[in-house]
Amino acid sequence: MITRAGRSAGVWAGALAALAAGALALPAPAGAQSPLTASPYEYLGWGNPQPPVSAMSATGVKDITLAFMLSRRRCSPAWDGARALTGGSDQSAIEAIRAAGGDVVVSFGGWSGRKLGTACKSAAALAAAYQQVINAYALHAIDIDIEHGEFSSAATRRRVAAALASVQAANPGLEISITMGTSLGGPERDGASLIADAAAVGLLPAAWTVMPFDFGAPVARMGQVSIEAAEGLAREISSAYHISYAEALRHSGISSMNGRTDETDETVSVEDVQQMLSFAQTSHLARFTFWSLNRDRECAGANTTPDDCSGVSQAAYAYTDVIAGYHG
């Protein structure tokens, strides 16, 4: 009899061997990196978002993670839960990014709004919703930003893991990131449970990504703290999938926040992100990104909202410039 742990380790090892052999790779230009690797988030549904192609031209960043895909009318995907899946400004943005030589990652979830993982009442229905979006844009990569009720419910976490395992099996080469909150030392109980759930069903994300901010207590040294959270994530992955710590790092990621975070006593400086970059390069992290491109500029006046600017003194696109320097 094969134990659950043994099956998970075997599935992971087999998938890694297939990846190394190129069996699971989507057709891509020689030397191209995954769109997950270094694609800052942009949310086109609020404020005055910076044109993605302008950011690409100014910084050299190639790929953008567009947020968020939510539920509209039960288990039906829509941008921000309100804008049509295709035919609108979001599709125009995707076409412009690709025409400029880049690619997109579509992110599902986030903190606000009705999540597909909650709205879809079975793993099969949730997988079909994910697949609808993948097909609509011929996606090479997706991100599941699992937060709030979608993350805190054990049943929903299991549904998400099972749905993504089905999607991964149906789409060889599709790269998946699962993004979640973290404590200072790595994933908390819900995060550890989700990693275990994924391992149990043979789900092999290209990246498990932590969001090391909004800790709820005064935190300095945000660069070092973010590195320590990623190291804790890698230890959790290593344990769940029975792989080496070094290999686990190559399936780990950091999604930071630029400038002032949602906590008044947290600030992520450009120097902090440069420190994270050095760690990402040494560890060959699967993903290095931040929230968000919308905010990658100085605040212009008293009426500017925190969603539109970083709240710190900076050059335009200073954080995106750092991310653009990461190539896996």
Contacts of 127 (CB under 8 A, 6+ apart): 162, 163, 164, 166, 167, 170
- Please give the Cα distance from 197 to 153 (Å, whole number): 13
Distance (Å, rounded) from C-alpha 255 to C-alpha 204?
A: 19
Cα–Cα distance for residue pair 270/314, rounded to 1 Å: 8
Residues 90-108: what's their mean pLDDT? 98
What is the spatial distance between Cα 49 and Cα 40, in angstroms, rounded to a whole number? 13
- How is domain 33-294+307-324 classified at the CATH fold level? TIM Barrel (3.20.20)
**Tokens 């954080």 appear where?**
319
What pTM does this model have? 0.90
Q: Active site includes 147?
A: yes
DSSP character for 186?
Answer: B
Helix (H) or strand (E) holding 78: strand 77-79
How many Å apart are CA 181 and CA 187, to the nearest integer? 7
Tokens of 126: 């949730």
> Is 1 a residue whose pLDDT tops 60?
no
Helix (H, G, I), strand (E, B) or coil at 106: strand
Among 98, 162, 174, CA closest to 125: 162
- Contacting residues for 290 by C-beta, under 8 A, at least 6 apart: 40, 41, 255, 256, 257, 258, 268, 273, 319, 323
Domain ranges of the chain: 33-294+307-324
Residue 215 has pLDDT above 80, yes or no: yes
* Residue-averaged pLDDT of the chain: 91
252 within 8 A of 208, measured Cβ to Cβ: yes
pLDDT band at 304 (very low <50, low <70, confident <90, very high): confident
Q: Give the active site residue among 42, 95, 147, 175.
A: 147
Q: Is the pLDDT of residue 31 over 60?
A: no
In this model, does residue 13 exceed pLDDT 90? no
